[in-house]
Structure 1
Amino acid sequence: MPDFKQNPHPKQVYQLTLTIANAPGPFASVEGFMQFDVGTPECLPSPNENGGHLWPTPTETIPFVWTRVSDTQYTGVVYIDGMIDEDYYGQGICRWKLMQAGAVLKATGANGETRFVPNIYPEKLVAQQAETTYLLKRFYPQDADIENYADYGQIDRSKMASTLKEDDIFAVTLTPKATTP
């Protein structure tokens, strides 16, 4: 695999504000991530160079820090242009695309706890539109049946079970604002 490079001087910068509402308890662990995928498959080697198989789409995850503002609010900085477009395979320029930015929230950070994973897509970043994810309180701090369970939630509250009451869920809103590098 080539040595994919992060952009040391990103220009498309957004400050994200993460706001938690109606939480089931505190979150001592809040980590950030940006996921980038190569969006130009023509830059990858041909299947003939991989034993007749297609090359998997290269993916890179860049962590970022959420800074605690209060018990219910954090801020972090993300980049649309976080990776360097380059000819990594000798087949032409591989162009990276931000797929999502988000958070991983855990009650204490201990192994086994549920990972609550709200995210926001680049279209919402560019439009500076907030994205709210609805998550289930019953998985806090840990699912009784599944260790290290990941709850990605639902962005459309109406798609959640109609039997769920407002006290059964909590919300995490990611609000982007363009900023200068």
Structure 2
Amino acid sequence: MTRRLAPIALPLIAALLAPACALAASVAVQPNPQARQGVDLSMRVEGAPGLFERVDGHADYRVENPACVPLTAVTGATVVPEQRVPVSFEPATGGGYRAEILLDRFRDEDYYGKGICHWALVGVTADLHHGQVDFSPAIYLADIVAGRDVVKHFSNKSYANADNARIDIGADSASAFNDPQATFRIRLHGAAR
């Protein structure tokens, strides 16, 4: 008799526990109607062997205090909420691109009844598309706040081999490549408004 109940009981238990596991992911995050902490992001491409068909990107945000998020019922782990927001890079006067982002895009709020969840920007990733290659440098919050440039180097061979689908995140130095002279750079810089 117990063998007959097992095939019925296990899926039933899993179905009952699934909503509790998805609790952290299912909360509707609220935009901050009073967002004021703006950042001007600039991007300059230096020495690329050609043009890019499309330039866009995204900003990643995350709750920085996981104690405000409940544990999942089955694993007991905390699933920290994250949000990805598209970023529109527009051509800038004098060359390059610019975008505007908000540090305080999401409202700090008690989403789960466990205290105020504080949202923070993790970083911004630019996506420069050429063929099937996505050249994808990123700048993180610490560099934005400090006003530091982030420079990523890319191989001209990676640009030339655009038929091979991939994401190329670049390297911190041209010396990371076999031919450091055959590289180009993408420079990102964030400045508070």
Alpha carbons of structure 1 residues 157 and 7: separation in structure 2 relative to 1, 3 Å: farther
How many residues in Structure 1 have an aligned counterpart in Structure 2?
A: 168
Of 164, 175, 179, which residue of structure 1 is paired with 2:179? 164
The residue identity in structure 1 corresponding to 2:118 is R
Q: What runs of 5+ residues in structure 1 fail to find an aligned partner?
A: none
Task: Report what 1:115 is aligned to.
Answer: 134
Aligned partners of 2:88 and 2:99 also within 8 Å = yes
Q: Distance in 2 between matches of 1:139 and 1:71?
A: 26
Q: Distance in 2 between matches of 1:6 and 1:134?
A: 35
Task: Report what 1:10 is aligned to.
Answer: 35
The residue identity in structure 2 corresponding to 1:6 is P
The residue identity in structure 2 corresponding to 1:32 is G
Of 33, 43, 49, which residue of structure 1 is paired with 2:68? 43
Q: Distance in 2 between matches of 1:178 and 1:4?
A: 24
Of 69, 79, 92, which residue of structure 2 is paired with 1:69? 92
The residue identity in structure 2 corresponding to 1:155 is D
Q: Secondary structure at the match of 1:106?
A: strand
Aligned partners of 2:154 and 2:185 also within 8 Å = yes
- Percent identity for Structure 1 against Structure 2: 26
State the TM-score, normalizing by the size of structure 2: 0.78
Q: What runs of 5+ residues in structure 2 fail to find an aligned partner?
A: 1-25
- CA-CA distance at 1:35 after TM superposition: 0.3
More helix by share: 2
Task: Report what 2:9 is aligned to.
Answer: none
- CA-CA distance at 1:157 after TM superposition: 4.0
Computed over aligned residues only, the root mean square deviation of the Cα atoms, in angstroms, reads: 2.0
- CA-CA distance at 1:53 after TM superposition: 3.4
Q: Secondary structure at the match of 1:140?
A: helix
Q: Distance in 2 between matches of 1:30 and 1:8?
A: 28
- CA-CA distance at 1:40 after TM superposition: 0.9
Q: Distance in 2 between matches of 1:116 and 1:93?
A: 37
State the TM-score, normalizing by the size of structure 1: 0.83
Of 150, 166, 169, which residue of structure 2 is paired with 1:152? 169
Task: Report runs of 4+ in structure 1 exceeding 3 Å deviation.
Answer: 141-145
The residue identity in structure 1 corresponding to 2:152 is T
Q: Between Structure 1 and Structure 2, whose CA radius of gyration is higher? A: 2
Task: Report what 1:59 is aligned to.
Answer: 82
